[in-house]
């Protein structure tokens, strides 16, 4: 029986829908999004390491309830019992921590700034967590707090009991802050400087907060001293406490808050984003905005859980990289530069790590949101002009985290997918600069560049950690530069050089083990070699994970392994090997190790990025039915719509975008090419509403949990046997009709002409 979707009934949880029942239509996808997915995480085990971001798509400022202490990267943990405040946050992950942060907390009868004494018990039963609206009941104060955001501002509604002792605290945090209370304007202004790095010396986040009710009393605190009647404080750690008299039970106090990285005046301008709307109207507008973005992909014929996962992942895919620009008094786009501390014209985006997000998040934006991608490309060009390098991890400026030079992929994939940046020549210059030089930080430019450009790899024995991982990623990054150089009709010297360097992966392949292995400066392989050893020559993984990091030339990798059948067997081994590990490089099992170990998928570590594309490589060796099986298994076993819904760090949309792509039935194995590799669509029907007005309709007849194999495929009504589809064809509009069945079709997708792109084949 098909069930007509009733959002209000489902949202209230009044009926239960079985896993086997299918939902015919979704009118309001926002109702299926849970911002709590991934919040049941700890330092030792990640189920997403997310927080419930209350935000607009790519918004400059996010908000989140704060259960952790000031400075704790795990600001919200699902298992926590108390809330300490509601925090403006720019945190991309707990590992990177935060910047531009301050918090707000309502209280009754308790006049304190102490973060432990002010904390209140709460329950998830009295919590509503949506992208555009958050509400929670603070039990110790009989207060309900509601929040709805814009891109740079937020509206608060506090519902108090009848009392003469209602308070709202603004905590500007430590490391240098300033607060001034202006009672005549019912306003608090100030700034916070608390950050975790990546900022110039003059960094400040200027905030302004206004209320709809007069202050009954005012106090401020400075470095643990609370003083009544004092209106201005500047010290290491300051804040303000304003009081209200609430004349009736369920009395409400409304507050508006905004901030700016540019100036106090700009913060006042940003506050105008809330003008002309009541709190409820702002909630409705936020819901409309999110529904507009989420409905760019319409799905039908999935279980309620699958649809909840899909739209929750789609929400996460539309948060980062965040806007780091503002609109000035003349309507112009301007930004505070996290690279040189100046206020300059143009776009800027931040809070993403390309090591994670080059793989599927940026390709997803290039497909579905090209109008946003072109702004992000301008932001990258501005970063290069202002800092001299492209960032590899920005938060908000350069951070020395992870490996690779994957800004090359982000730039090249956008151009290859038709994103026409006006700054492409500047970006090309930036790619060549980054590809041939070590930067001011280890994770900027290429660590070991001098070795790589002469030997073709970064040696194991020259005190550069994770050298094999770096070498493999540099080779892929060189491939993306080659692709861009060809498209831009650059010199033959450039084209030939980067094409040649794209084959450097071959230098690390060890024929004795059939795996990638660190290599010494003299050309000998590092020894002893344990393919299960995490770290050391590799990054947050082992040789079994990084051996597949040859995105650009899977055919060449297969040849090194002894051919298609040998590589197919090697791929099988990833799932059949036990989840053993050597953690001696770290001295303890890092959380990524535990997440692999407990997943019961052998050496397949979907919770981290290096191996996430590996399942799709079966298509390159003529065994696409195995990709179909393992894609479905991964979606079914590694993702849920619950607080423990991920199998590792969500990582700024990357792990979510993997699910979104995979649920649609294709995946960008090799960014900077025109191809997506096919898997197994999850839903009966999906419609991609492209920005150019075209539609891609993906129909999967007979689709079910059991019918996970592709029997046949038609493209616009004609038989289609290939294991890939082209981006350039999709954006013209297309109808893909899959016929699904319970048994593998071992004859489809096996011909040489059906296999996806590989540089070796392109070379021939």
Residue 346 token pair: 């143009």
Residue 675 token pair: 């191809």
**Residue 221 is assigned to a structural domain of this protein:** yes
pLDDT at position 764 is: 56
Predicted confidence (pLDDT) at residue 412 exceeds the cutoff of 70: yes
Which residues does 401 contact at the CB level (< 8 Å), separation at least 6?
95, 96, 353, 392, 393, 443
Short-list 519, 523, 520, 577, CA closest to 545: 577
pLDDT in tens, 379-406: 999 999 999 999 999 999 999 999 999 9
pLDDT interval class at 763 (50, 70, 90): low
pLDDT at position 762 is: 78
**Residue 133 is assigned to a structural domain of this protein:** yes
Predicted confidence (pLDDT) at residue 25 exceeds the cutoff of 90: no
pLDDT at position 7 is: 38
Sign of the dihedral through C-alpha 470, 473, 479, 485: negative
pLDDT interval class at 725 (50, 70, 90): very high
Which residues does 184 contact at the CB level (< 8 Å), separation at least 6?
none
Mean pLDDT calculated for residue range 742-751: 98
Share of the chain above pLDDT 90, in %: 96
Predicted confidence (pLDDT) at residue 15 exceeds the cutoff of 70: no
HSE on the CB side for 119, CA within 13 Å? 15
The helix or strand, by DSSP H or E, that contains position 676, with its residue range, turns out to be strand 675-678
Predicted confidence (pLDDT) at residue 10 exceeds the cutoff of 80: no
Domain with residue 178: its CATH number is 2.70.98.10
HSE on the CB side for 268, CA within 13 Å? 8
Predicted confidence (pLDDT) at residue 11 exceeds the cutoff of 50: no
As a residue count, the chain comes to 764
Q: Average pLDDT over the chain, rounded to whole? A: 96
Predicted confidence (pLDDT) at residue 325 exceeds the cutoff of 90: yes
603 Rama sector, left if φ>0, alpha if ψ -120 to 50, beta otherwise: alpha
pLDDT at position 42 is: 94
Three-class secondary structure of residue 298 per DSSP: strand
Share of the chain above pLDDT 70, in %: 97
pLDDT at position 17 is: 42
Total of domains in the chain: 1
Short-list 130, 300, 292, CA closest to 663: 300
**Residue 623 is assigned to a structural domain of this protein:** no
Do 127 and 120 touch, CB atoms closer than 8 A? no
70 Rama sector, left if φ>0, alpha if ψ -120 to 50, beta otherwise: beta
Q: Which domain holds residue 214?
A: 51-275
**Residue 387 is assigned to a structural domain of this protein:** no
**Residue 682 is assigned to a structural domain of this protein:** no
Mean pLDDT calculated for residue range 614-621: 98
- Count Cβ atoms below 10 Å from residue 711 Cβ, excluding itself: 17
pLDDT at position 363 is: 98
Predicted confidence (pLDDT) at residue 18 exceeds the cutoff of 60: no
Separation CA 245–CA 181 (nearest Å): 18
Predicted confidence (pLDDT) at residue 5 exceeds the cutoff of 70: no
Do 223 and 235 touch, CB atoms closer than 8 A? yes
Q: How far is CA 246 from CA 185, 210, 211, 255, 287, in A?
A: 19, 17, 14, 15, 30
Do 188 and 180 touch, CB atoms closer than 8 A? yes
**Residue 444 is assigned to a structural domain of this protein:** no
Check residues 695 and 1 and name the one with the higher pLDDT. Answer: 695
Separation CA 673–CA 184 (nearest Å): 60
Classify burial at 250, counting beta carbons within 10 Å of its beta carbon; exposed 0-12, middle 13-18, buried 19 or more.
Answer: exposed
HSE on the CB side for 652, CA within 13 Å? 28
Q: Residue 97's beta-bridge partner residues? A: 93
- Count Cβ atoms below 10 Å from residue 438 Cβ, excluding itself: 17
Mean pLDDT calculated for residue range 70-94: 98
**Residue 219 is assigned to a structural domain of this protein:** yes
pLDDT at position 24 is: 82
Predicted confidence (pLDDT) at residue 649 exceeds the cutoff of 50: yes
pLDDT in tens, 472-498: 999 999 999 999 999 999 999 999 999
pLDDT at position 12 is: 34
pLDDT interval class at 19 (50, 70, 90): low
Separation CA 156–CA 246 (nearest Å): 16
pLDDT interval class at 8 (50, 70, 90): very low
Predicted confidence (pLDDT) at residue 561 exceeds the cutoff of 70: yes
């Amino acid at each position: 029986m098909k069930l007509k979707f009733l959002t209000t009934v489902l949202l209230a949880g009044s009926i239960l829908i079985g896993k086997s029942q299918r939902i015919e239509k979704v009118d309001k996808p926002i109702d299926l999004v849970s911002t709590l997915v991934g919040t049941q995480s700890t330092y030792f085990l990640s189920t997403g390491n997310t927080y419930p971001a209350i935000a607009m798509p790519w918004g400059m400022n996010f908000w989140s309830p704060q259960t952790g202490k000031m400075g704790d990267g795990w600001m919200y943990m699902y298992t926590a019992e108390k809330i300490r405040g509601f925090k403006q946050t720019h945190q991309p992950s707990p590992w990177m921590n935060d910047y531009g942060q301050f918090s707000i907390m309502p209280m009754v009868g308790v006049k304190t700034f102490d973060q432990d004494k002010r904390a209140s018990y709460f329950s998830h039963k009295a919590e509503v967590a949506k992208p555009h609206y958050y509400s929670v009941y603070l039990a110790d104060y009989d207060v309900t707090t509601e929040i709805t955001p814009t891109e740079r501002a937020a509206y608060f509604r506090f519902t108090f009991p009848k009392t003469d002792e209602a308070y709202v605290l603004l905590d500007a945090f430590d490391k240098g802050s300033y607060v001034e209370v202006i009672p005549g304007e019912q306003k608090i202004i100030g700034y916070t400087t608390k950050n975790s790095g990546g900022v110039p010396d003059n960094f400040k986040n200027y905030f302004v907060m206004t209320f709809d009710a007069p202050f009954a009393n005012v106090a401020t605190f400075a470095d643990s001293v609370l003083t009544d009647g004092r209106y201005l404080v500047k010290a290491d750690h300051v804040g303000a406490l304003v009081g209200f008299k609430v004349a009736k039970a369920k009395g409400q106090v409304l507050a508006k808050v905004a901030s700016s990285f540019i100036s106090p005046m700009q913060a006042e301008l940003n506050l105008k984003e809330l003008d002309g709307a009541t709190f409820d109207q702002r909630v409705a507008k936020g819901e409309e905005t999110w529904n507009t973005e989420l409905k760019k992909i319409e799905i039908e014929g999935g279980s309620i859980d699958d649809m909840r996962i899909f739209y929750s992942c789609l929400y996460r895919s539309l948060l980062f990289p965040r806007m780091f620009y503002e609109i000035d008094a003349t309507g112009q786009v301007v930004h505070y530069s996290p690279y040189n501390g100046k206020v300059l014209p143009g776009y800027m985006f931040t809070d993403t790590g390309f090591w994670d997000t080059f793989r599927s998040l940026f390709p997803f934006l290039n497909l579905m949101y090209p109008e946003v991608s072109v702004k992000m490309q301008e932001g990258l060009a501005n970063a290069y002009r202002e800092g001299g390098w492209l960032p590899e991890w920005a938060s908000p400026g350069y951070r020395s985290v992870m490996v690779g030079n994957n800004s090359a992929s982000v730039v090249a994939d956008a151009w290859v997918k038709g994103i026409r940046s006006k700054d492409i020549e500047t970006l090309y210059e930036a790619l060549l600069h980054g590809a041939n030089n070590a930067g001011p930080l280890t994770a900027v430019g290429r660590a070991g560049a001098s070795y790589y450009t002469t030997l073709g790899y970064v040696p194991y024995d020259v005190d550069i950690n994770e050298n094999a991982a770096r070498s493999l990623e540099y080779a892929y990054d060189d491939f993306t530069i080659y692709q861009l150089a060809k498209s831009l009709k650059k010199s033959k010297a450039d084209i030939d050089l980067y094409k040649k360097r794209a084959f450097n992966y071959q230098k690390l392949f060890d024929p004795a083990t059939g795996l990638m292995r660190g290599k010494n400066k003299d050309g000998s392989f590092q020894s002893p070699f344990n393919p299960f050893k995490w770290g050391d020559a590799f990054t947050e993984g082992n040789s079994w994970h990084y051996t597949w990091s040859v995105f650009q030339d899977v055919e060449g990798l297969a040849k090194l392994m002894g051919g298609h059948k040998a590589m197919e067997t090697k791929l099988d081994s990833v799932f059949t090997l036990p989840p053993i590990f050597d953690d001696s490089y770290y001295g303890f099992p890092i959380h990524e190790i535990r997440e692999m170990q407990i997943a019961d998928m052998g050496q397949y570590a979907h919770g981290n990025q290096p191996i996430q594309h590996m399942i799709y490589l079966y298509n390159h060796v003529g065994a696409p039915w195995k990709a179909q099986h393992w894609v479905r298994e991964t979606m079914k076993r590694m993702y849920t719509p619950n607080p423990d819904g991920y199998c590792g760090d969500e990582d700024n949309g990357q792990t979510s975008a993997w699910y979104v792509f995979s649920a649609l039935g294709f995946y960008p194995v090799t960014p900077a090419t025109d191809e997506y590799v096919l898997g197994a669509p999850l839903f009966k029907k999906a419609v991609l509403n492209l920005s150019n007005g075209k539609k891609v309709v993906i129909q999967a007849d007979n689709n079910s949990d059991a019918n996970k194999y592709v029997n046949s495929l038609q493209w616009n009504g004609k038989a289609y046997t290939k294991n890939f589809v082209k981006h350039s064809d999709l954006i013209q509009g297309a109808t893909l009709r899959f016929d699904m069945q319970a048994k593998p079709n071992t004859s489809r997708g096996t011909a040489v002409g059906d296999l996806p792109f590989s540089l070796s084949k392109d070379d021939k």
